């Protein structure tokens, strides 16, 4: 699959077209290339993104997810909420890692685009006309890599990787299946967290 196809599939997954998802895809693909590793079909790679909550540009995380194959579901994607558009990609076997961050060269052009003016005025991204969405996507996708991201040096990550705990058991109270590590004990019964009354 070529990179533009990956981008378009990523945007479809994301649900709307925006500049930050494009930066995320570019950052993710650049990180894979720098480490010399393929997209993570399983959990061979781990990504730490630095976006936070409730701010512009968070969509970066979906670009990284799609680009690197480090996904929310597989659990090899985490947030270190610093309000920054940056990702550290780690190959778990070797702990080889690279950090790729957004470079604001196009900042003014992005901010002045019709799309961003409307977003800042509180309009949902998917309510903005398609051509205005694509105008911004093409600006960020077509720019030189050096104008969009900064690729750091490869370094050794201090990784502490936990193994999976397999298996389930029905909760002794509600009967719903619960992963073994999440069962709690109350008296003689084993139960899920909500039934146990414990917070976690």
61's CB contacts (< 8 A; 6+ apart) are 24, 49, 51, 77, 79
Query: Nearest CA to 22 among 146, 142, 152, 119?
Result: 142
Residue pointed to by tokens 């003689």: 188
Q: Of residues 4, 33, 93, 120, which one binds other proteins by CB under 8 A?
A: 120
Q: Judged by CB, which is closer to other proteins: 14, or 34?
A: 14
Question: Which two structure tokens, joined as six digits, stand for 21?
Answer: 């998802």
Site for other proteins in 143-182 (CB under 8 A): 150, 162-168, 170, 175-182
Phi, psi of 161 (to 5 degrees): -95, 125
Site for other proteins in 2-41 (CB under 8 A): 9, 12-16, 20-21, 24, 39-41
Q: Does 118 bind other proteins (CB under 8 A)?
A: no
State the minimum distance, in angstroms, from the CB of residue 36 to other proteins. Answer: 18
Q: Judged by CB, which is closer to other proteins: 12, or 33?
A: 12
Site for other proteins in 44-73 (CB under 8 A): 44, 51-66, 69, 71-73
The site string for other proteins over 79-108 (x = CB under 8 A, - otherwise) reads --xxxxxx--------------xx-x--x-
What CA–CA distance (Å, rounded) separates 82 from 166?
33
Site for other proteins in 128-147 (CB under 8 A): none
Query: Nearest CA to 60 among 98, 5, 14?
Result: 14
């Amino acid at each position: 699959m070529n990179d533009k196809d990956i981008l378009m599939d990523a945007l479809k997954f994301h649900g709307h077209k925006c500049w930050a998802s494009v930066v995320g895809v570019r950052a993710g693909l650049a990180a894979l290339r720098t480490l010399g590793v393929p997209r993570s079909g399983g959990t061979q790679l781990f990504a730490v993104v630095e976006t936070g909550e409730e701010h512009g540009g968070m969509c970066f995380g979906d670009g990284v997810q799609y680009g690197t194959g480090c996904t929310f579901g597989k659990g090899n994607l985490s947030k270190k909420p610093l309000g920054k558009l940056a990702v550290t990609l780690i190959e778990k076997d070797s702990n080889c890692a690279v950090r790729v961050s957004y470079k604001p060269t196009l900042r003014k052009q992005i901010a002045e685009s019709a799309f961003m003016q409307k977003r800042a005025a509180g309009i949902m991204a998917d309510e903005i006309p398609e051509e205005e969405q694509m105008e911004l996507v093409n600006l960020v996708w077509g720019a030189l890599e050096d104008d969009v991201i900064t690729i750091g040096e490869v370094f050794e990550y201090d990784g502490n990787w936990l193994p999976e705990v397999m298996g389930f058991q029905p909760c002794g109270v509600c009967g719903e299946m619960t992963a073994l590590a999440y069962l709690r004990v109350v008296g003689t019964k084993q139960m899920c967290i909500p039934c146990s009354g414990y917070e976690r």
